[in-house]
Structure 1
Amino acid sequence: MPPATKRKKGEGQWALGYREPLNKNEENKKNDDGLNVRRRIIDIYSKSGFDSIDPSDLRGRFRWMGLYTQRKPGIDGGKTGALEDEELEDRYFMMRVRIDGGQLSGPQLRTIADVSTRYARGTADITDRQNVQLHWVRIEDVPAIWEALEAVGLHTMEACGDVPRVIIGCPLAGIAADEVVDATPRLREIHDRYIGSPEFSNLPRKFKTAMSGCTSHCTVHEINDIAFVGVVDEAGETGYQVFVGGGLSTNPMFAQSLGVFVKPEQTAEVWHGVTSIFRDYGYRRLRSRARLKFLVKDWGAAKFREVLEKEYLGFALPDGPEPAAPLARRDHVGIHPQKDGAYYVGFAPRVGRVDGELLGVIGDLAERYGSGRVRTTNEQKMVILDVPEKDTEALADELAQHDLQVRPSTFRRQTMACTGIEYCKLAIVDTKQRAMDLIDELEERLPDFDQPLTINVNGCPNACARIQVADIGLKGQLVVDDDGEQVEGFQIHLGGRLGASFGKKVRGLKTTSAGLTDYVERVVRRFDEQRTGGETFAEWVHRADEADLK
């Protein structure tokens, strides 16, 4: 057997005949499909309580149903990684409500609001993949929550786990006047055919999909496992370019274009082929190398396309154009016309933090001023659709009364934060509250700053808040303060640009959490003083003296 084949078999690739599990996670998945845990939750665990849950379900298969145990309160960041899961975890759950395409009807939003209030102590966070996360969920209440969600067409299935997770889409799909193509029908086709199917319920790791014809590229196709991006070919036909192998975490990689043209009616078939490649050829030996990006890096786009066409599609795809450059801001915040003559109103909660009562208010406003339709965005924001032009300012005023800004400062508009130590077992530092405080402090200190500037705050190295592609990316860690004490702080990444470059790490550049605002103010003032013409923050970072970045 050739050495190269031996090496690939060592990665645990099914397509090469290696089916025996090479780690505990793979063994757990082989022992029982994660989808099967739903029945046990309903029939056993919800009736017998937390202590009845099998550990392999609790810390494994529960994810297939959108459930993670949350962090026990009072455990500081220094214990993260040092304690076993059972010592870190509380007897409550984070539940992720899956919102494919970010599309919510009025009844769906009201149901989430009601579930939050009744079963989750009022908690709700809009994520940077368009989902809503609830906390403090008891296992006893899970069946009732599912029943309520499913009654309005929502669910939590495969919101987490080694599966195809939520399919992100443009919140203005079918609405925006300038969109290339409406991806909604194809997104729904993939969801309905494959989500919850045993065909893809055992992938090597999580699998993230984006589908959009949005001209601002709001679905950040550059960092998804697979992304369909709207393009127009030489004949004037609309379709998609396909990108594969994007992802961040501790080994960030940008997705590579396959250079193809996919007709809308071929979308589901191509998605099925790419997902099947990941299932069959993906690396299953080490969890740290199991994302699709590692296979794409080793194969290259040309080989990946060849395998897709010859082994999975059975036909060649034509070459296709690359998408146009994105707009400066990708978030759909503000008041803008729809293609049907109505308007949409995009607004900014603070780093996605809302609550059940506030979601109810948003639902009321969407019904009163629009059609009831609401969208979540990939930037932890929300959009109300179908508002008559004459009512847009009145809606903006009412939203502002609830601290939901339609014309937010740069800092409110472009700061994101992951869950952080408040609930996450992987986190080292607080993120949500620190980011909200940072916004308030920067608005007070820099009231006239209006340039685009993304600030992404992450509680650990896993990059849920996309720190490597932010202007200022903050990775939570423990640092030593001036008194020699170990305190919460951040490693700083500067000048990240989606699809272009990852944030620059300046040697020794860290800050305590307490000193964060002083640092950001200092570096933003220097940028404002030194920028030329239309220079962006990222462009300035890559030419600035290192001393100006500290």
Structure 2
Amino acid sequence: MYCYDEYDQTMIDERVAQFRDQVRRRLANELTEAEFLPLRLQNGLYMQVHGYMLRIAIPYGLISSRQMRMLAHIARKYDRGYGHFTTRQNIQFNWLKLEDVPDVLADLASVQMHAIQTSGNCIRNITSDEFAGVAQDEIVDPRPYAEILRQWSTFHPEFAYLPRKFKIAVSGAKQDRAAIQAHDIGLSITKDSQGETGFRVFVGGGLGRTPIVGSEICEFVPWQHILTYVESILRIYNQFGRRDNKFKARIKILVKALGIDEFRRLVEEDWSEIKDGPGTLTIEEVERVSSFFTGPNYAVLPEHDSKLSEFKADNRQFSNWLLSNVKPHQKQGYAIVVLSLKKPGETPGDATDTQIDAIADLADRYSFGEMRVTHQQNIVFADVKQSDLVELWQQLARLELASPNIGLLTDIISCPGAEFCTLANARSIPLAKSIAERFENIDFQHDIGEITLNISGCMNACGQNHIGNIGITGVEKKNHDEWYQISIGGAEGNDCSMGKILGPSFKFHQVPEAIDRILHVYLRERADENERFIETVRRIGHQPFKEHVYAAEFEEEPVTDVSDDKSLIPAQYDIPFYSPRF
């Protein structure tokens, strides 16, 4: 993985010193909150319901065991003993004191980490395929290009104050696992008929209030010119993007207003002026960055492990875990393992300091000291010997990180919701827990098969609800009732689509029953047990689901004052439910 050089380290250390002085001035009231706001946002610091939240960058999801242990240290020393892994392959800490944040950033800098550009109207953390470098369907390893984009975009003076936040994702495999068509810019590495490497470029994708699937702007950009082409897209956006209304400021709105053909014309016109300029990549630079991503020292192993097959036959739980959490690897005798942060009854994406430390120890022992954070809020060990799978599974089970539900119904993506976020209309975490507990039976989940369920507490869609096969969005809170819209038919991947709302909204307690009715239609209507949920929805349409879901009245629950009901929030938070928006 990439290691800082002296310039990287100096830049990060100087940023820590700058922010330490800015915090000092804020605490001394030499800076107003309005003056401090852009300074803290540039360092990933948000003000949320109960205090400050810090979002830490994990570029393209790649993290070492040393860095992971630092996250555990921060959780213990400065937070409340846990961290929350996000859909942008980052981690958030929700309970920091402002006076401690410079020390947190200094600790991060000591292990080559930071929180720069994890917020604000700039280019955010570059995301990529969590299986990069080891996936069997990989065409080109995307990590060197993701790192080049990271270095290019960090502190880029022209793109520090864009009309709105900007997100880029890179995929290098036949199957898109980075949701590139749901990004402002999505890059798919490919090869032409002569075997030359290039990029298929998508632009104008995004979720939020106006969910749009990205449009192809160029079928093939040679690798030498990808930086200049991306720069031209950003220059056109910076020049013409709306700044009068933040709800219409994303690049997707500009692309939709101009049309993809006119937007392409403007980009090509600008690109013609900078295409062969200083931003042109050289083979020497790509090889230099690629040298940081050489594969581990793999052993020569047999193709299959006989003991693994025997244990699988005798242990149903292990067999289920192999089926859902273990993926094929490029190297013979190795496997990719996904650690589930979605144990039913727990907060999706959360990990305690004890778990984070243990994950780092296990990565050292079983996966060359390296991990990846997924945009589904799980952790990946990319290089595990097949002969170690039984032992690793036993260790993960003790840590409650072996739920065999990756890609299944309880592998729920969820934003923090109204417990933390001042923008949220409704709670996400308790709803995710309620749904997971209702459908916890693993045999039922395997019968349902591959399905995604995503929850967002508001229209900003941090839980990526629009691209969930089933998407849930908090829309309002009124008279002690929270209301949620349900959509179906969303999907990420090569055939990306945005979900369509089924009908009227549901109260909190009605949502699990509505999900049950949706699944009933799927099981009744699927062509066979191999037809996935998304395929059934696309084949029969939304109407059969809508008719069944709304055919009968939902039972009413007594109205209770949720503001004092601590059973509805995770126990470790130990706070009353509160949001200033309510």
Asked if structure 2 preserves the Cα contact closer than 8 Å seen for 1:250 and 1:461, the reply is yes
| Matched residue, 1:468 | 466
Long gaps (5+) in structure 2: 1-13, 277-322, 343-347, 551-582
Q: Distance in 1 between matches of 2:440 and 2:248?
A: 41
Which residue type is aligned with residue 440 of structure 1?
A: E
**Are 2:532 and 1:536 equivalent residues in the alignment?**
yes
| CA distance 1:359–1:123, shift in 2 (3 Å) | same
The corresponding residue for 1:31 is none
Change (3 A) 1:132 1:500: closer
- Give the Cα–Cα distance (whole angstroms) in 2 for the partners of residues 495 and 518 of structure 1: 18
Kept after mapping to 1: 8 A contact 2:122/2:159: yes
Whole-angstrom CA distance in 2 between matches of 1:296 and 1:403: 45
- Structure 2 length as normaliser, TM-score? 0.77
Instruction: Measure how far apart 1:414 and its partner are.
Output: 3.4
Counterparts of 1:100-111 in structure 2, within 5 Å, are: 100-111=59-70
CA distance in 2, matches of 1:47, 1:392: 52
Matching residue of 1:261: 220
Identify if the C-alpha distance between structure 1 residues 457 and 50 changes in structure 2 by more than 3 Å, giving closer, same or farther: farther
Following the alignment from structure 1 to structure 2, what is the Cα–Cα distance between the partners of residues 171 and 380?
11
C-alpha distance after superposition, 1:347-400 (max 9, x if no partner): 220221212221111111111112110000111111012222210221122112
The counterpart of 1:302, out of the listed 261, 277, 280, is 261
Distance 2:536 2:477 in 1: 27
Residue of structure 1 in register with 2:3 after alignment:
none
Paired residues of 1:37 and 1:57 also in contact (CA < 8 A) = no
- Matches of residues 214-233 of structure 1 in structure 2 within 5 Å? 214-233=173-192
Deviation at 1:168, TM superposition (A): 0.4
Q: What one-letter code is carried by the residue in structure 2 that aligns with 1:249?
A: G
After superposing the two structures, state which structure 1 stretch, 256-265 or 57-66, moved more. Answer: 57-66
Is the 2:228–2:275 Cα contact (8 Å) retained in structure 1? Answer: no
What aligned pairs does 1:351-500 form with structure 2 within 5 A after superposition? 351-405=348-402, 407-408=404-405, 411=408, 414-444=411-441, 446=444, 449-478=447-476, 486-498=480-492, 499-500=495-496
- 1:20 aligns with none
- Given candidates 513, 537, 548, the residue that maps to 2:508 is 513
Equivalent position SS for 1:265: helix
Shift in Å, 1:287: 0.9
Structure 1 residue aligned with 2:337 = 345
Kindly provide the amino acid, as one letter, of the partner of residue 334 in structure 1: N
2:548: which partner in 1? Answer: 548
Q: Which residue of 1 aligns with 2:53?
A: 94
Specify every segment of 5 or more residues in structure 1 that has no aligned partner in the other structure, as ranges.
1-35, 73-91, 318-331
The match for 1:49 among 27, 46, 51 is: 27
- Cα distance in 1 between the residues matched to 2:371 and 2:467: 27
Answering whether residue 43 of structure 2 is matched by residue 65 of structure 1, we say: yes
Q: Distance in 1 between matches of 2:58 and 2:85?
A: 10
Do 2:425 and 2:477's aligned partners in 1 also have CA atoms closer than 8 Å?
no
Q: 1:294 to 1:47 in 2, by over 3 A?
A: closer
1:293 aligned onto 2:252? yes
Tell me the equivalent position of 2:576.
none
Shift of residue 412, structure 1, vs aligned partner: 5.4
Give the counterpart letter for 1:291 in structure 2.
R
Aligned-pair CA distance for 1:452:
1.6
Q: Please state how far the C-alpha of 1:516 moved relative to its aligned partner.
A: 2.0
Give the conservation status (yes or no) of the 8 Å contact 1:411–1:439: no
Question: Equivalent of 2:208, from 242, 249, 263?
Answer: 249
User: Residues of 2 paired with 1:338 and 1:506: CA distance?
Assistant: 39
Q: Does 1:133 align with 2:92?
A: yes
Say yes or no: does 1:168 pair with 2:127. Answer: yes
Task: Normalising by structure 1, report the TM-score.
Answer: 0.81
Instruction: Supply the AA of the counterpart residue of 1:340.
Output: K
Cα distance in 1 for partners of 2:441, 2:147 equals: 44
Aligned length: 477
Aligned mates of 1:48, 1:204 — CA distance in 2: 26
Match of 2:580 in 1: none
Contact 2:341 2:350 (8 Å CA) reproduced: yes
Secondary structure of the equivalent of 2:121?
A: coil
| Secondary structure class of the residue paired with 2:112 | coil
Q: CA deviation at 1:233?
A: 1.4
- Distance across 2 between alignment mates of 1:172 and 1:50: 47
Shift of 1:71: 0.4
1:150 and 2:141 matched: no
Residue equivalent to 1:87: none
CA RMSD of aligned residues (A): 2.5
Residue 272 of structure 1 and its aligned partner are, at CA, apart by 2.0
Give per-residue Cα distances to partners, 1:68-95, cap 9 Å, x unaligned.
01103xxxxxxxxxxxxxxxxxxx3111
Q: Matched residues in 2 for 1:104 and 1:448: separation?
A: 31
In 2, Cα distance between equivalents of 1:228 and 1:110: 32
**Structure 2 counterparts to residues 175-214 of structure 1, below 5 A:** 175-214=134-173
- TM-superposed CA distance for 1:313, in Å, is 4.2
